C-alpha cells in the first residue's frame, strides 16, 4: 500500500480529489454548500471587524464629532453582529448536514460489500481495503468524508487572503510625505513586488515544512495501521461476548495473554515512528513554519509603521493594515495546510476508490428460471474441479454428480475433504475452475444468478442469526406470513420453546434492540436456522451438519420428521453421524476433493476396506463399546 500511494502523480491526485468531491456532494447534498458558506463567513468576519474598527480609530484620531463617533461605533457593532449571526447559522447548518456523514460513509462501504460477488467479498484484498479505509478515516482524519474538513480549511484560507488583500491594497497608494526624505524609498513602485516576494518566500518555506510533516505521515502510515489493527484486535477480543469468548478468556487465561499483548501494544504505540517524529522533528518543523510566518509579519509591521511615521496614513489605517496582515498570515497558513492535506488525502482516497471499483467478475447470465411447483430441476456436476482464488491446492477434483429430483443425498468424508466447498459451488457462490455445472442441461452461468440462488435453502455450519425478532430471522424479511413462520418453527422442533415465550415469534434475539430479548442456546439457534431454510421453501434443501448442536432427542425428532420436513424437495445432508445418512437414497464419500465412493449404505459397506466402511466402523465401534460397558455396569446411563 505504501509504495503504491506515494507513487501518485499530481494530476492523479487532482483527479482523485475531484472524484471524491463529486461523490461527497452527491451523498451529502447541502453539506458542500454549508461548508462553502461557513468558510466565506469565517474568512470574512475578522476583516469586517478590522475595517470598521479602523474607521472608528481614524475618526477618533482626526477628532471627529461625537455623532460621527457614535455612527462609526454603530456600523462596527452592526457589521460584526451580522457576520457573527451568519457564521453561527452556517455552522449549525453544517452541523445538521454533517449528521449524515457518519451514516453515508458507512452506507457506501456497506452497500458496496452487499453488492459484491462472493469471491470478491471473500478476497483478502477486499477486507484489507475496507479496514484501511476505516483506519484512514478514524485514525488519521483522511479519506472521502474528511474532504469536507480540507475544503473548509482551504476556502476559509482563500477568503481570508482575498479579504486581506482588499483591505491592504490601498496601502500602496498612500505616499510618505516629503517631510521625511529618508523614508521616500517606501513610495517606490518596487515596494509592491518586494512585499509580494516576501509573502511568497515565507509562505513557501512555511508550507514546505508543514508539508514535510504530512509526507512523513503518508509514507509511514503502514506503521500506524499495524498499531491500529493490533489495538482493534485487543479491543474486539476483550469486548467479545459471543460464542463463549468470555468463558474461554478465563478458563485458558486468555485474559492474561490479552493483558500481556496490551503492554506490547502500548510500547509499540509509544515507540511508533510517526509519534516519535511528531515529538521531535515534526514539532520542530511546525515551530519553524510558524516562526517564518511570524518573521514575515514582523517585517510587514515595520513597513506599515514606517509609512505611517512618514505621514502616509493615520493610526486607523495602521490598525487596519496590521490587522489585515496578521489575518493574512492565518489565511495563508490555512490555505497551505489545506493544499498539503488535500495532496496527502488523495493517496487515502485511492484506497476508497480501489475498494469502490472492485469489480464483480463472475459471469452474470440473463436466462430466467421458471418457477416450477413440481420442483423439477435437474442439476449435474460434470467433471468439476476447483481451487480457492489465490491458492494452488485443488479442493475439488473431477467431481461428477447428477442430482435426482426429490432424492436424499448424503455427503460424508473426513474434515477438509471438500464437502462444504462442493455445496458452495452448487449454490454458485464460486464458479468451477474446470468442468461445468448444469441446470436442466444448461450451464448455470447462463442463468440470472439471483434466480438460480433462489433454488437453494442452506443451513451452513456457521449459520448466522440477526439480533432481530425470531419471525424476521425465519422469514429473512420484515414482511412475513405469521402462520408459515410458526409452522416452520414447529417443523424445526422449536414449538415447546416458542410456547414458553411471552412475545412468541416477535421475541427479539439478543438485547441489542430490546432489553427483553433472549439468548438462545446453540441447539435452539440451530433450530431457527433450520426453520429459516424451510420457510424459504426452495427446490433444494441443504443441511451442513444440521444437528451438530442439537441434543439427542431433538436430533432424533428432526431425523424422524426429516421426510415430512423435506417433502418433495431434493435434499443434501452433510453429516459426520453416518447413522443419519443410512436412510438416504445415495451417499457420496469425499476424500481429498474427490468422490471416492458412491451408493447406498449397504452397497458401500459391502467393501470392508473402503473409506466408508472405515468411517462407519470407527463410529459403530464407539457405540458397541458403550453398549458393552453399559451391559457390564461400568457405564451407568440414566
DSSP at 545: S
Q: Give me the least distance between CB of 591 and ligand ADP, in Å please.
A: 10
Residue selected from 275, 388, 394, 583 as contacting ligand ADP according to rule CB under 6 A: 388
Question: Does residue 575 interact with ligand ADP by CB under 6 A?
Answer: no
Residue selected from 159, 329, 420, 488 as contacting ligand ADP according to rule CB under 6 A: 420
Helix, strand or coil, per DSSP, at residue 367: strand
Residue selected from 157, 282, 418, 493 as contacting ligand ADP according to rule CB under 6 A: 418
Closer to ligand ADP by CB, 38 or 401: give it.
401
Lay out the site mask for ligand ADP across 77-116 (x = CB under 6 A, - = otherwise): ----------------------------------------
Closer to ligand ADP by CB, 278 or 591: give it.
591
Ramachandran region, residue 377 (left: φ > 0; alpha: ψ -120 to 50; beta: rest): beta
Closer to ligand ADP by CB, 24 or 422: give it.
422
Residue selected from 416, 442, 563, 622 as contacting ligand ADP according to rule CB under 6 A: 416
- How many residues are listed for the chain in this entry? 638
Question: Does residue 421 interact with ligand ADP by CB under 6 A?
Answer: yes
Closer to ligand ADP by CB, 388 or 480: give it.
388
The DSSP annotation for 604-630 comes to: HHTSTTSHHHHHHHHHHHHHHHHHHHH
Question: Does residue 419 interact with ligand ADP by CB under 6 A?
Answer: yes
Q: Which residues contact 409 (CB under 8 A, 6 or more apart)?
A: 403, 570, 571, 572, 573, 584, 585, 586, 587, 588
Helix, strand or coil, per DSSP, at residue 442: strand
Q: Give me the least distance between CB of 461 and ligand ADP, in Å please.
A: 8
Measured between alpha carbons, how far is residue 305 from residues 46, 185, 439, 461, 560 in Å?
21, 14, 89, 81, 100
Q: Give me the least distance between CB of 381 and ligand ADP, in Å please.
A: 14
d(CA 50, CA 44): 10
Closer to ligand ADP by CB, 100 or 122: give it.
122
Segment contacting ligand ADP by CB under 6 A, of 171-179, 237-245, 368-376, 387-395: 387-395
d(CA 522, CA 243): 9
- Beta-ladder partners of 591: 594
Closer to ligand ADP by CB, 123 or 232: give it.
123
Lay out the site mask for ligand ADP across 339-378 (x = CB under 6 A, - = otherwise): ----------------------------------------
Closer to ligand ADP by CB, 37 or 429: give it.
429
Closer to ligand ADP by CB, 116 or 297: give it.
116
Segment contacting ligand ADP by CB under 6 A, of 69-77, 214-222, 410-418, 485-493: 410-418
387 phi and psi angles, rounded to 5 deg: -125, 140
Question: Does residue 395 interact with ligand ADP by CB under 6 A?
Answer: yes
Q: How many CB atoms lie within 10 A of CB 341?
A: 21
Segment contacting ligand ADP by CB under 6 A, of 79-87, 129-137, 409-417, 475-483: 409-417
Contact call for residues 479 and 398 (beta carbons, < 8 A): no
d(CA 420, CA 259): 37
Q: Give me the least distance between CB of 360 and ligand ADP, in Å please.
A: 17
Number of residues located near ligand ADP, criterion CB under 6 A? 12
- Residue appearing with cell numbers 433444494: 540
- Residue appearing with cell numbers 453539506: 31
The C-alpha cell that represents 583 in the structure block? 436412510
d(CA 370, CA 349): 44
Question: Does residue 126 interact with ligand ADP by CB under 6 A?
Answer: no
Q: Give me the least distance between CB of 593 and ligand ADP, in Å please.
A: 7
Lay out the site mask for ligand ADP across 152-181 (x = CB under 6 A, - = otherwise): ------------------------------
- Structural Rg of the chain based on CA atoms: 37
Closer to ligand ADP by CB, 283 or 389: give it.
389
Question: Does residue 597 interact with ligand ADP by CB under 6 A?
Answer: no
Burial class (CB in 10 A: 0-12, 13-18, 19+), 32: middle
d(CA 442, CA 450): 16
Closer to ligand ADP by CB, 419 or 601: give it.
419
* Percentage helix, strand, coil for the chain under 3-state DSSP, each rounded to 5: 65, 10, 25
Closer to ligand ADP by CB, 415 or 631: give it.
415
Segment contacting ligand ADP by CB under 6 A, of 11-19, 190-198, 301-309, 417-425: 417-425
**Footprint on residues 270-299 left by ligand ADP (CB under 6 A):** none
Closer to ligand ADP by CB, 293 or 533: give it.
533
Q: Give me the least distance between CB of 243 and ligand ADP, in Å please.
A: 19
Question: Does residue 124 interact with ligand ADP by CB under 6 A?
Answer: no
In 3D space, the residue among 152, 157, 167 whose CA is nearest the CA of residue 49 turns out to be 167
Segment contacting ligand ADP by CB under 6 A, of 32-40, 208-216, 413-421, 577-585: 413-421
Q: Give me the least distance between CB of 361 and ligand ADP, in Å please.
A: 16
The C-alpha cell that represents 332 in the structure block? 495563508
d(CA 50, CA 564): 86
Closer to ligand ADP by CB, 415 or 632: give it.
415
Segment contacting ligand ADP by CB under 6 A, of 358-366, 412-420, 599-607, 624-632: 412-420
Q: Give me the least distance between CB of 529 and ligand ADP, in Å please.
A: 17
Q: Give me the least distance between CB of 148 and ligand ADP, in Å please.
A: 38
Q: Give me the least distance between CB of 241 and ligand ADP, in Å please.
A: 26
Cα 38 off chain centre by? 29
Of the CA atoms within 13 Å of residue 110, those in its CB half-sphere come to: 6
Helix, strand or coil, per DSSP, at residue 156: helix
Alpha helices of 492-567 — where are they, by DSSP H?
495-499, 522-536, 552-566
Residue selected from 11, 359, 366, 391 as contacting ligand ADP according to rule CB under 6 A: 391
DSSP at 62: T
d(CA 10, CA 37): 28
Q: Which residues contact 227 (CB under 8 A, 6 or more apart)?
A: 265, 268, 269, 272
Q: Give me the least distance between CB of 430 and ligand ADP, in Å please.
A: 9
Burial per residue of 560-572, b for 16 or more beta-carbon CB atoms within 10 angstroms, e otherwise: eebeebbeebbbb
Q: Give me the least distance between CB of 615 and ligand ADP, in Å please.
A: 13
Q: How many CB atoms lie within 10 A of CB 35?
A: 27
Q: Tell me which residues touch ligand ADP (CB under 6 A).
A: 122, 388, 391, 395, 413, 415-421
Amino acid at each position: 500500500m505504501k509504495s503504491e500511494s506515494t507513487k501518485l502523480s499530481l494530476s492523479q491526485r487532482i483527479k482523485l480529489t475531484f472524484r471524491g468531491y463529486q461523490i461527497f456532494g452527491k451523498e451529502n447534498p447541502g453539506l458542500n454548500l454549508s461548508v462553502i458558506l461557513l468558510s466565506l463567513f469565517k474568512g470574512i468576519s475578522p476583516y469586517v471587524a478590522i475595517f470598521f474598527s479602523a474607521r472608528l480609530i481614524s475618526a477618533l484620531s482626526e477628532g471627529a464629532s461625537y455623532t460621527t463617533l457614535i455612527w462609526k461605533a454603530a456600523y462596527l457593532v452592526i457589521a460584526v453582529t451580522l457576520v457573527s449571526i451568519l457564521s453561527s447559522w452556517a455552522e449549525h447548518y453544517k452541523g445538521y448536514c454533517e449528521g449524515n456523514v457518519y451514516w453515508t460513509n458507512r452506507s457506501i462501504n456497506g452497500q458496496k460489500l452487499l453488492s459484491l460477488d462472493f469471491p470478491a467479498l471473500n478476497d483478502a484484498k477486499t477486507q484489507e481495503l475496507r479496514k484501511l479505509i476505516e483506519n484512514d478515516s478514524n485514525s488519521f482524519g483522511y479519506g472521502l468524508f474528511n474532504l469536507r474538513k480540507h475544503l473548509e480549511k482551504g476556502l476559509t484560507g482563500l477568503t481570508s487572503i482575498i479579504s486581506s488583500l482588499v483591505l491592504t491594497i490601498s496601502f500602496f497608494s498612500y505616499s510618505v510625505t516629503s517631510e521625511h526624505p529618508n523614508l521616500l524609498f517606501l513610495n517606490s513602485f518596487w515596494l509592491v513586488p518586494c512585499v509580494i516576494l516576501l509573502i511568497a518566500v515565507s509562505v513557501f518555506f512555511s508550507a514546505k515544512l508543514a508539508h514535510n510533516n504530512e509526507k512523513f505521515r503518508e509514507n509511514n502510515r503502514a506503521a500506524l495501521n499495524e498499531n491500529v489493527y493490533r489495538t482493534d484486535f485487543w479491543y474486539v477480543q476483550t469486548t467479545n461476548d459471543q460464542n463463549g469468548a468470555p468463558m474461554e478468556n478465563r478458563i485458558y487465561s486468555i485474559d492474561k495473554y490479552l493483558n500481556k499483548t496490551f503492554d506490547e501494544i502500548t510500547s509499540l504505540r509509544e515507540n511508533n515512528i510517526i509519534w516519535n517524529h511528531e515529538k521531535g522533528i515534526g514539532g520542530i518543523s511546525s515551530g519553524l513554519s510558524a516562526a517564518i510566518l511570524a518573521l514575515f509579519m514582523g517585517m510587514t509591521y515595520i513597513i506599515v509603521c514606517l509609512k505611517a511615521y512618514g505621514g502616509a496614513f493615520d493610526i486607523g489605517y495602521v490598525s487596519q493594515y496590521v490587522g489585515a496582515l496578521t489575518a493574512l498570515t492565518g489565511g495563508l497558513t490555512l490555505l497551505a495546510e489545506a493544499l498539503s492535506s488535500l495532496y496527502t488525502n488523495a493517496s487515502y482516497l485511492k484506497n476508497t476508490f480501489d475498494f469502490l471499483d472492485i469489480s464483480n467478475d463472475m459471469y452474470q447470465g440473463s436466462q430466467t428460471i421458471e418457477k416450477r411447483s413440481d420442483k423439477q430441476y435437474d442439476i449435474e456436476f460434470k467433471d468439476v474441479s476447483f481451487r480457492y482464488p489465490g491458492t494452488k491446492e485443488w479442493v475439488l477434483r473431477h467431481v461428477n454428480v447428477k442430482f435426482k429430483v426429490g432424492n436424499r443425498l448424503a455427503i460424508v468424508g473426513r474434515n477438509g475433504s471438500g464437502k462444504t466447498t462442493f455445496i458452495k459451488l452448487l449454490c454458485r457462490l464460486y464458479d468451477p475452475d474446470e468442468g461445468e455445472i448444469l441446470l436442466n442441461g444448461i450451464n448455470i452461468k447462463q442463468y440470472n444468478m439471483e434466480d438460480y440462488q433462489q433454488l437453494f435453502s442452506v443451513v451452513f455450519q456457521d449459520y448466522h442469526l440477526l439480533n432481530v425478532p425470531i419471525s424476521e430471522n425465519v422469514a429473512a424479511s420484515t414482511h412475513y406470513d405469521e402462520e408459515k413462520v410458526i409452522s416452520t418453527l414447529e417443523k424445526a422442533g422449536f414449538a415447546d420453546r416458542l410456547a414458553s415465550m411471552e412475545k412468541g415469534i416477535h421475541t427479539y434475539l439478543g438485547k441489542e434492540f430490546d432489553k427483553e430479548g433472549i439468548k438462545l442456546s446453540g441447539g435452539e439457534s440451530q433450530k431457527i436456522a433450520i426453520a429459516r431454510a424451510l420457510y424459504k421453501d426452495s427446490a433444494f434443501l441443504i443441511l451442513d451438519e444440521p444437528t451438530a448442536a442439537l441434543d439427542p432427542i431433538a436430533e432424533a425428532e428432526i431425523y424422524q420428521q426429516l421426510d415430512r420436513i423435506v417433502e418433495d424437495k431434493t435434499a443434501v445432508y452433510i453429516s459426520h453421524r453416518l447413522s443419519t445418512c443410512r436412510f438416504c437414497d445415495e451417499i457420496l464419500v469425499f476424500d481429498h476433493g474427490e468422490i471416492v465412493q458412491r451408493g447406498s449404505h449397504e452397497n458401500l459397506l459391502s467393501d470392508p476396506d473402503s473409506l466408508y466402511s472405515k468411517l462407519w466402523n470407527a463410529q459403530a465401534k464407539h457405540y458397541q463399546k458403550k453398549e458393552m460397558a453399559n451391559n457390564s455396569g461400568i457405564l451407568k446411563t440414566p
